[in-house]
Amino acid sequence: MSRGQSLAYLAGMVSGALAMSLRPRYWPRTVRNVLARQILFTGVEALRFISVISLLVGVSIVAQVQVMVSRVGQSEWLGPILVAVIIRELGPLLTNFVVIGRSGAAMTTELGNMRVNDEVRVLDAQGLDPFAYLVLPRMIGMMVSIFCLTIVFIVVSFVGGYAASTLIGVQTSAPGLFVDSVIGAITPKDVFGLLAKTMIPGLVTAAICCSEGLSIGSAVTEVPQATTRALVRSVGALFVVSALVSLLIYL
């Protein structure tokens, strides 16, 4: 397929999944079980790794920002700077990176092996819609997981960064003032931006990974090639979506 056809195909997958997700008849117990397993693997099992990364990011960013603000004596800039760096950019971006590398590769490999072993054809022969059973719960599960993991990333970054700054002796404001400065700097644009930078890449990444996995023929050697393509295209799509959202909302 050409690049335009590929984009149209992915757009059709995303719109189709969103439309089907609003209809209860597409959510039988089997599909709900797949959704639960997807959220467990993508969201819950990645929680510890995301927490460690967010803690390290928080220690680095929050401490540096507080030192810079204390030196120039502009404490009112503390909240806006942290919101711009962590909530607008680093939180969604790094969380998506982790999910792409961890769950995106697994998703493509799993569906690719199912294609090679003719399991997709068996589902179709049994009267189960492969899109509703295989693609829909994975797309919704990845979208929900990325959003929740990003919220955890942001909270752990702020809390861990402030606590670490206090422990290492960096001059910090009172906890209440710190929280007020961060919350006061959050605008409706930040909320919309956070939703867009988590949900849209989640849907697009899952669509790319499912598309690449289900496009495999009968050769098992195609699986690692499809996985590599899925990861590269997912990362590229992540940067494109993030840049477009920033341009549309903040500029």
Give the model's pLDDT for residue 167.
Answer: 78
Between 20-29, 44-53, 63-72, 190-199, the lowest mean confidence (pLDDT) is in 63-72
Tokens of 33: 């079980």
Q: Can you tell me the distance from the alpha carbon of 57 to that of 89, in angstroms, rounded to the nearest whole number?
A: 12
Asked if 54 contacts 90 with a C-beta cutoff of 8 angstroms, the reply is no
pTM exceeds 0.85, yes or no: yes
For 96-124, what is the mean pLDDT?
91
Domain assignment present for residue 4? The answer is: no
Can you give the residue range of the structural domain that contains 123? Answer: 26-250
67 half-sphere exposure, CB direction, 13 A CA radius: 13
Name the residue among 112, 123, 132 with its Cα closest to residue 214. 112
Asked whether the predicted pLDDT for residue 73 surpasses 70, the reply is: no
Asked whether the predicted pLDDT for residue 132 surpasses 80, the reply is: yes
Give the model's pLDDT for residue 4.
Answer: 78
The total domain count for the chain is 1
Domain assignment present for residue 231? The answer is: yes
Domain assignment present for residue 6? The answer is: no
Give the model's pLDDT for residue 37.
Answer: 94
Domain assignment present for residue 85? The answer is: yes
Cα angle, residue 125 at apex, residues 121 and 129 outer, rounded to 5°: 80
Domain assignment present for residue 238? The answer is: yes
Domain assignment present for residue 36? The answer is: yes
Asked if 96 contacts 238 with a C-beta cutoff of 8 angstroms, the reply is yes
10 Å CB burial of residue 62 (0-12, 13-18, 19+) is buried
**Between 218 and 36, whose confidence is greater?**
36
Domain assignment present for residue 16? The answer is: no
Name the residue among 196, 206, 195, 215 with its Cα closest to residue 234. 206
Asked whether the predicted pLDDT for residue 155 surpasses 80, the reply is: yes
Domain assignment present for residue 14? The answer is: no
